[in-house]
């Protein structure tokens, strides 16, 4: 089981339990939260504020790299951060986060033990984070536009994008790739039949080589604007996260 961006470690639970509570929070009556854009329920924040009387200052980001840079810079001012599990080792080493006080998390016992086991590979003992969301990375297509150009297109295979003869035919209707190196590396390593956890630099060089023949056919590297582009016919192939696929399909 391979989890990427959607495997996020966070102190932000279903009931917005706050395991890092410090005395200053109660005094200030405010908690500062940093999260992926669009990764929270429509009423979660207002429900939390109504139930606890604690206000929420809520900031968002659009890429793992953006969040990592901000957190590693230090003195971010955030109390609760939701970010990719794969980024936890560096954050833990840098001393960014406090350990969870699990005595304040009565619903910890309800978390999926298999997900916790996987996350422990990044956060031994699950000391600093808890799972919030996970999903997958892949491609979404405007089927009619693709079939118009490649009648026998196999939309279940990434050959449709990474074989230059296919990418060339789709270039005019638009290919978009995520601007998220972590997700892209994992996805293409899997496509190439390589270990997603590899530490072999040569394997990552192969990912770069896989992009070189198709780079000229990629219109954008984007994390946010593609969502409306598929249903609007502005793009015919987008690399995206599964939650965004569901939104576009809806």
pLDDT tens sequence across 117-145? 888 888 999 999 898 887 788 999 999 99
> What is the structure's pLDDT at 16?
28
**Tens of pLDDT along 57-108?**
999 988 888 888 888 888 788 888 888 887 888 888 998 888 999 998 999 9
Instruction: Report the range of poorest mean pLDDT among 17-21, 154-158, 237-241.
Output: 17-21
Tokens, residue 232: 């609007």
65 part of a folded domain: yes
Given 85, 105, 131, which residue is the final one in a domain?
131
Given 106, 131, 156, which residue is the final one in a domain?
131
Cα pseudo-dihedral 169, 173, 179, 184, rounded to 10: -40
197 part of a folded domain: yes
Tokens, residue 97: 């986060």
Alpha-carbon separation of residue 154 from 106, 118, 141, 176, 235 (angstroms):
47, 32, 11, 18, 18
Give exposure, 143-152, as e/b (b: 16+ Cβ within 10 Å): eebbeeeeee
Q: What is the mean pLDDT of residues 45-53?
A: 93
Mean pLDDT of the residues in the chain:
84
> What is the structure's pLDDT at 28?
65
Alpha-carbon separation of residue 210 from 23, 91, 158, 199 (angstroms):
52, 30, 11, 18
Q: What is the mean pLDDT of residues 28-41?
A: 86
d(CA 77, CA 131): 22
d(CA 240, CA 223): 8
For 152, the domain range is: 137-249
């Amino acid at each position: 089981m391979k989890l990427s961006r959607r495997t996020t470690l966070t102190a932000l639970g279903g009931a917005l339990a706050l395991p890092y509570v410090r005395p200053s929070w109660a005094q200030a009556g405010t908690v500062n939260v940093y999260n992926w854009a669009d990764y929270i329920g429509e009423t979660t924040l207002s429900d939390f504020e109504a139930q606890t009387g604690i206000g929420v200052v809520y900031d968002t980001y659009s890429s793992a790299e953006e969040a990592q840079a901000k957190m590693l810079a230090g003195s971010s001012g955030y109390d609760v951060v939701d970010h990719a599990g794969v980024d936890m080792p560096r954050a833990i080493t840098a001393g960014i986060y406090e350990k969870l006080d699990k005595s304040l998390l009565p619903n910890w016992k309800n978390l999926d033990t298999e997900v916790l086991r996987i996350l422990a590979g990044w956060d031994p003992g699950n000391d600093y984070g808890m799972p919030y969301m996970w999903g997958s990375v892949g491609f979404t297509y405007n089927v009619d536009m693709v079939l118009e150009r490649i009648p026998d297109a196999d939309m279940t295979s990434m050959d449709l994008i990474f074989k230059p003869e296919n990418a060339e035919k789709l270039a005019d209707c638009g290919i978009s790739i995520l601007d998220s190196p972590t997700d892209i590396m994992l996805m293409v390593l899997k496509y190439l039949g390589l270990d997603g956890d590899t530490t072999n630099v040569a394997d990552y060089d192969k990912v770069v080589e896989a992009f070189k023949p198709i780079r000229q056919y990629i219109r954008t590297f984007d994390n946010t604007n593609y969502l409306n582009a598929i249903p609007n016919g502005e793009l015919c192939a987008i690399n995206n996260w599964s939650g965004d696929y569901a939104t576009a399909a809806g």
